Structure 1
Amino acid sequence: MSGDIKRGKRVFAKCKACHITKKDEGNSAGPNLYGMFGRQAGRAEDFRYSPAMKKSNLIWTEANVQKFIAGPLLMMPGTRMDFRGISSAEDRDALIAYLRSVTTGQ
């Protein structure tokens, strides 16, 4: 997947109301996204996840992030993420590119 990082930063403006992307800055209303790629869902430290997220055994790959942000409740009924989703594939690609750049240094 490839996406426009600048566009992704604009898309993330909605997400930053609940999510942090910096290492060692804790959580907000949502879990800190630093180091998310390759991590099992529901395993970030010191965050109270929904039972659905904890039991999912989902690994945050780009493909899974793409599906989740398209429709969190559709992909994972019972998630506490109160977000309708991002319908634009280009916006999702851009968001993933941005998240890669700020959560992994890539």
Structure 2
Amino acid sequence: MLDTARSGQYEQIIHAQGKAVASSQKSAGKSVLSALCPDPGGQIARINASRLSERVEVPVPNDEIHRLAQTLNSMLDKLQASDAEQRRFVSDARHDLLTLTKANDGGA
């Protein structure tokens, strides 16, 4: 049987692992882009884990910076989707662990 303390430990581990993966993905992407392209308006610097819906302005001339901004925005779309998927996973795992714990305690 799974006791309540162990269930809580599993929940914390799953949550911490999800956050660590998401954080490392976001940090790596931000570091690479900051190194490749100066950001005079601070657009990239304003994007963080709580503001993944923000996007970089795509300049009008169709040059390398235009394509880089499009690529960055595409990457941000993928990071935002990945973040939402990880949040759903952690939420589902939490629900499953709580349900299992309640069932083992005779509460479900």
Normalised TM-score (structure 2): 0.27
More helix by share: 2
Greater C-alpha Rg: 2
Normalised TM-score (structure 1): 0.27
